[in-house]
Amino acid sequence: MENCIFCQIITGRIPSVKVYEDDRVFAFEDINPISEGHTLIIPKTHAENLFEMTGADLSAVIHASKKVASGIQKALSPDGIAMLQLNGRGANQVVMHYHMHLVPRMPGAGRLPITIWEIKAGDMDAIQKTGAKIAAAIE
């Protein structure tokens, strides 16, 4: 896609720190890293979000994520690695080309707010109603 920055990273028009590539995916370092080793994995075929991704590309991204995460683990020995993927502006997606974030969590690092939420018992009636609505809508 002409004016998509991640499509331009794939073709090399915009430089990037590439860590991995195969026929379907491209992985590179985030230039505004949340932590050392913050890496993005993207499909080579432009898709804006989860809803536009083909099964083959989704599968390729997940497989590559494991490969790249294993490299991060070996290279940096983090305490853990958060795998995050945002869909839509309401979820704070900024670059509209599907991307999986791998965020290594280093010993003693600060909080990663998205992974921390208050554990508060929900209303079981409401949960059941919502669950039934979602289940009925799954095709």
16 touches ligand AMP by CB under 6 A: yes
Q: How does DSSP classify residue 86?
A: -
Within residues 26-45, the interface with ligand AMP by CB under 6 A covers: 30-32, 40
3-state secondary structure of 52: helix
Interface of this chain with Zn ion, residues 94 to 113, rule: CB under 5 A = 97
The answer to whether 92 contacts ligand AMP (rule: CB under 6 A) is yes
Residue 99 is among the residues annotated as catalytic for this protein: yes
Task: Say how far residue 114 (Cα) sits from the centre of its chain.
Answer: 13
Q: Are 95 and 5 in contact (CB under 8 A)?
A: yes
Whole-number Å distance between alpha carbons of 98 and 50: 7
Q: Does residue number 14 form part of the binding site for ligand AMP (CB under 6 A)?
A: yes
| Smallest distance from ligand AMP to CB 85, Å | 7
Residues carrying an active site annotation: 99
